[in-house]
Structure 1
Amino acid sequence: MYGQEIKDSTLTAAGFYHDTAIGDMSSLGFQKRCLSVHGQGDVQVAANISIDLMNQPRVLLNSCNVKLTVYPNDSKFLIEAFNRDPDTEFRFKIKDVYALVNEFDLADGLSNALEAAVIEHKLIQYPMISSQVRSFYIEPNRLDAPANTLFTSKMPRRIFLGLVDAEAYNGSYEKSPFNFQPHGITDIHVDYCGMSVPGRPFSLDFKKNKFIEAYIQLQETLGHTRNNFSCNSISTKMFKEDGYTIFGFELSPVAQDNSLFELVRQTNISVRLNFRDKTPEGGLYCVVYAEFDQIFSLDALRNPIIDSIV
């Protein structure tokens, strides 16, 4: 979703370097990440906390209690070590973590007016985009994915899907968990509200270069085909074979406008996949990222109220 300028600047402070090919030792991004830690001793990084509450532009009221609990993944999931000695184990060790918080000191008049508004209206509401990540397992030697229903209540704005090797999904030094490959997929569509997206079924054959429609739909879902000044630097070659085979689906007409909300639509969301070749030994995981409209509220006593029906 990020543009190339952000990837080459701000995100490098978080240790991110863009890969032209995922899971490839010759990738410039992988080599830069190696250089940033090899022989450097302790490495300091900084990144935004990517949770719903902090991905919206409004600040919290005063006197709110906020507690953040972070659980790190296994080191095998976090570390790429393609050429390691089999007897060598690597550990991702965190020595210190702290949060930088911006605080606004309001003028007395504005602070009093804000408090009066809270008492009068009883609630202060924060509209935001809530993200949900789901995954489901596809057994080996299958030509289609098992029937599944991912969401059973509110309709998401848009959905992104990708297929990753089961071993990499569970953590492996030798495989990247972000290496999304086509795995011989011929068709993928989302069923909701009695409709299917896309309306015209895909007929994909990545070996014969029949994938452009899915690539354009990904860029459409991200909003990069409707302007000439931003891109995510994913080329057709990268989409085809370099670990960026991610499928995007817009389910809402306001999917890309965070300032607009739709009425809640109750529905079931299902994903269907078909393959030209049998799925590999060990199986695959389909990782699904979905975005929903969400309202977060605070009452006069600063108690949080989340209308979550996802």
Structure 2
Amino acid sequence: MGVSVGREVLDSSIRVANDVASGDSFKQSLNRNASNSYNSLVNRAIGKLGQTGGRRPKRRTTRRVKKKKTVRKSAGRKKAAPRKKVTRVTPNICLFDTPPSQVAFSKGKWMTFSPSNPIEPKGPYTFNVFDSAHFFQLNKTYLTFKAHLSSVKKKDEGGTKTAVPISHTNFIGATFFNQVKLSYNNVLVYDSSHYAYKAYIQTLLGESDEMKEGFLSAARWSNDEDSLGAVLVDKRRLQEDGTNGLDICTPLFLEPFQTDKLLIPHINIQLTLYRNNDAFCLESTEADAPAKIFISDLKLHMRAIDVVPSATIALENRLRTTPAQYPFKNLKMKVITIPPGRTELPFNVLYQDILPRRVIVGLIDPEAMEGSFTKNALNFAHHDVSEIQLDAGGTVYPPQPIQCDFVNKNYAQAFARLYEELGALSEKSCPRITYKMFRNGYAFYVFNLTAMDNPNSWELIQSGTTQLYIRFNKKTPDGGLNACVLSEYDGMITIDAFRNTTYVDVNLASYMLMMGRLENLSPARIQDLNQSLKSLNIVQSWNACNGCPIGLGAELSLDATPRSHHFINNVIPKPPARRRSVSTKRYFEEKYQVRLNYPNSPLLRDTTGSMYPLEIVWLRIRIY
């Protein structure tokens, strides 16, 4: 119908145009043609209705049937389930949801402990935590105490005596202590030697600037980059004020305490702290003992958590089959003495056992490290290092030595590796050491030995020798230098249902065989093996033939072997009329019927002078 109307309008328009061209009036022609067009359309409509009977004819449609594709199903393959559409709702519209509730912990509280021994000026200070009901959150452990000055030296200025200005060492809350020992149920599980340097380096390179200037200011941390060379710092000035002292609160920088896991109950914790000397803790312009420092009101604060009984019972049942595991990053500190007048330190053996994850090297004055009122004990100067390199298990880090020229201020590679090897670039954390500060007391050389530095994963254990090489532009000063080497390892403490820490028993000869041959060793090689023995966490050693204990201070003899060492014996066989000399090898063969497979290996000499073959010595080593 629409098509017919359109055609009729077009024809009518053409007729009107022709009439106007012939001289007719436009109005008359329009009225006439409009009437004719209307009548024509009506007649057409009536004709259509007559043909269809008043109904619109249906349009024929052909239905197409899709052919199904035949797919051969393979044997054993199932049809994949259709993917369900996941609907997501933004949290802004979730008006009826609440956060999940924790039901494992019933209560948390702070517990304060006092030392079990009197607080003497020279220490040590011992804490015994005897608790049988609480879980302890070890990473929330703090020490509080007050620092005082006594016997302050006074000098005469214009007829009046004034006290010598004295300041404490930076981060005195941690650097006041030199060594910290931790024991569980009277078993030593951790011994932190050089605690002051470990805590300082760990905080300087690992904590953020907000943490150091905020929370750690209670432990008297101060950024002294602008006045590091000066002896006195006004904000660290101490006064002899009688009863009032410098109030200090500091966390414990023990690696086993740097964990989020709760320590299981029924464990007696023993903590022993040994302090540094006065010359290490104080700084002044006077070299002759200007004052003494001591502490009072020493307290230990620990966070105790009460766990609901059902969860406690479930944990105890699991402990019967699986020990509790507390992984942590174990830090070892080793000090290497560099003699005076040397221009290089050849590859010096650091360790001969497990390769570390990361090694941090810093040089310091030996006098300042021992304690000097006029020297900063935390000043890691560059000492004109020109080259430094590390060899770990036959792989050199880096392949070419790190080049430094501090005289001309060219040490960009060492400075950049400080940030890169610490992971500061990937973790977006900054130790806030500028290019200028690096050469003015913050010269740390960092070597990362891991393939992928991921703090949340462990590295595969690799054994080998770790060596350090250093070269200097100038000869080392009088008195020499100390190279402080801080190494990082993967460690773990495990505690079973009986609250025993896990250890392993190994034969000394079997352990030594992992490092090479045992017989016909040179004195230098034996000294290296002795250093390796000292680095082990040996709990106990004994003679396997009779079960008698051997002192922990035993070491390998440089010249005595089971075949060459003889002594006077009256026991084997039956004593003859006169005394006779017998070798160690024959003694054990005749008395204990033990045949020694390594007669030319060094003997183990204890502190009393007794000799033991390596094959009959057993060690109990604690595994971290």
TM-score by length of 2: 0.46
Q: Tell me which residue corresponds to 1:180.
A: 380
In structure 2, the CA distance between the partners of 1:80 and 1:21, relative to structure 1 (3 Å rule), is farther
3-state SS in 2 of match to 1:126:
strand
> Are 1:247 and 2:448 an aligned pair?
no
Q: Which has the higher strand share?
A: 2
Q: Distance in 2 between matches of 1:283 and 1:261?
A: 37
RMSD: 1.9
Q: 1:125 aligns with which of 300, 314, 325?
A: 325
Work out which of the residue numbers 226, 242, 259 in structure 2 matches 1:56. 259
Matched, 1:16 2:221: yes
Equivalent in the alignment of 1:281? 478
> Are the equivalent residues in 2 in contact too, given 1:129–1:258 (CA < 8 A)?
no
Contact 1:74 1:171 in 2 (8 A): yes
Partner of 2:236: 33
Q: 1:193 to 1:147 in 2, by over 3 A?
A: closer
Structure 2, unaligned stretches of length 5 or more? 1-205, 504-620
Aligned to 1:75: 278
Task: Report what 2:592 is aligned to.
Answer: none
Which amino acid counterpart does residue 210 of structure 2 have in structure 1?
E
How big is the shift at 1:22?
Answer: 6.6
Which ranges in structure 1 are unaligned for 5 or more consecutive residues? none
Q: How does 1:189-268 map to 2 (within 5 A)?
A: 189-226=389-426, 229-240=428-439, 242-255=440-453, 257-268=454-465
Is this contact kept in 2: 1:25–1:31, CA < 8 A?
no
CA 1:26 to 1:149, structure 2 compared with 1: closer, same or farther past 3 Å?
closer
Q: Distance in 1 between matches of 2:623 and 2:309?
A: 38
CA contact under 8 A between 2:492 and 2:623: conserved in structure 1?
no
Over 3 Å counting, the alpha-carbon distance change for 1:132 and 1:22 in structure 2 is farther
Q: Structure 1 residue 21: deviation in Å?
A: 4.9
**3-state SS of paired residue (1:96):** strand
**Does the 8 Å contact 2:231/2:376 carry over to 1?**
no
Kindly state the Cα deviation for residue 60 of structure 1 after the two structures are TM-superposed: 0.7
Shift of 1:302: 0.7
- Find the aligned partners of 2:288 and 2:253 in 1 and give their Cα distance: 35
% identical aligned pairs: 28
Per mean C-alpha deviation after superposition, the further-off stretch among 104-113 and 199-208 is: 199-208
126 and 87 in structure 1: CA distance in 2 versus 1, 3 angstrom threshold: closer
Match of 1:6 in 2: 211
CA–CA distance in 1 between the matches of 2:496 and 2:390? 38
Q: Which has the larger radius of gyration?
A: 2
What is the identity, as a one-letter code, of the residue corresponding to 1:231? C
- Code of the residue aligned with 1:46 in structure 2: it is C
Q: Which has the higher contact order (CA 8 A, sep 6+)?
A: 1
- TM-aligned CA deviation for residue 176 of structure 1: 1.1
Query: Could you state the TM-score of these two structures normalised by the residue count of structure 1?
Result: 0.91
Shift of residue 249 of structure 1?
Answer: 0.7
Alignment pair present for 1:91 and 2:292: yes
Q: Which residue of 2 aligns with 1:140?
A: 340
* Corresponding letter in the other structure for 1:192: A
Distance 1:268 1:87, change over 3 A: closer
List per-residue Cα deviations over 1:114-171 (Å, max 9, x = no partner): 11110122x1111111000001111111001254211111111101111111111111
Q: Which amino acid aligns with 1:250?
A: N
Runs of 4 or more above 2 Å deviation: 21-27, 37-41, 86-89, 305-310
Counterparts of 1:288 and 1:107, CA distance in 2: 45
Query: 1:39 Cα shift?
Result: 5.8
